Each structure stands twice: as C-alpha cells, then as structure tokens.
Amino acid sequence: MAMEKRLQKELQALVNDPPVGIKVDADQIGQNLSEWLVNVDGAPGSIYNGEKFQLQFKFGSRYPFESPQVVFVGPNIPVHPHVYSNGHICLSILTDDWSPALSVQSVCLSVVSMLSSCKEKKRPPDNAIYVKTCSKNPKKTRWWYHGKQCYHSEYKTSLLGMSSMGINT
C-alpha cells in the first residue's frame, strides 16, 4: 500500500537522521503506522525555549494525497495565538495548503517555526467557544487563515456579524 510504504520511509529517515529538537518514538507506533507521536522541543531563543511538546499525527489511507490530522497532545499544549487549548492548530499547510511533498518532518518544522515567530503567549481569541463546539478532528474545522489572526469560520461569521452591527472587535 502506497501510504504504508511512504510512512515506512519517513519513519526510517526521522529515526536515522532527526532534525534538532524533533524526536519520534518508533516503539510507540503501531504496526500499520497510522498514528504517531512526535516529541517537539521549543526552539532555543524563542519564548518556548526549554518547553517540551508532543504532536499526534493520524494518517488516513489517502496519505500523502490528503493531509494528516495533527494536534498537540499531552500535558503541555503551547499557549500560542494559533493553538487552541484542546491542541488543535490553525496552520494552513494542515488543510488548504497541504502538498504531498510535505512530510511529518516538514510539518514538525513548520509547527516549531510557527511557535518560534510568536512574541507573546496568548490563546486564540475564539478559544473558549471553539473548544466547546469543535469536532474532534481539526480537519473538519473550516479555518480562516489570514496573517497574524486565525479564526474558525463560525467565529469569523460572528465577527462579521458584529462589525456589520457597528460593534468594534
């Protein structure tokens, strides 16, 4: 199967030659490779320096043609404007901008780089309502990606609604 063959190669590369701060625990990965846990370190020099995070990857049978589900799990979910307290990440390469040339490694590096560019530890503005109403699968969320802010679509709709009513947000 194409998905397993490719994941096997990715796993091998990540175990043999891992980038700094990224470590996959191969023993935790089941036989069919469809679920991985990757340990990610906050980058030195960033406000997450010294923190340890864990990313969970879930691969469907159409991987790499379809993106994996990627969420933060475990005791330490980074406090970041694009990371919800339930671990969901608002990052366009995980949905709209996915490409089969991306990989577990490049996704991890993108997430670390997203964390590193942050100056202030803050949750997304719509965190409370999102974690109450979202699907378990972050790919089912309709994300709106625009520069610094990140909203799921229901929140955006309500924002637009408020501004059309003359309420400043």
- List residues binding another protein (CB under 8 A): 2, 5-6, 9-10, 62, 64-67, 95-101, 103, 139
- Does the annotation count 90 as an active-site position? yes
CA–CA separation, 11 vs 7, rounded Å? 6
8-14 LR contacts (CB < 8 Å, sep 24+): 8/33, 10/103, 10/104, 10/105, 11/36, 13/105, 14/38, 14/104, 14/105
The minimum distance between CB 127 and another protein, in angstroms, equals 24
Q: Toward another protein, which CB reaches closer, 19 or 161?
A: 19
CA–CA separation, 136 vs 100, rounded Å? 24
Q: Toward another protein, which CB reaches closer, 103 or 127?
A: 103
Catalytic-labelled residue, pool 90, 108, 118, 150: 90
The minimum distance between CB 5 and another protein, in angstroms, equals 7
The minimum distance between CB 139 and another protein, in angstroms, equals 6
Q: Provide the residue count of the chain.
A: 169
Q: Toward another protein, which CB reaches closer, 77 or 107?
A: 107
Mapped onto helix, strand or coil, the DSSP state of residue 28 is: helix
Question: Which positions are annotated as active-site residues?
Answer: 90
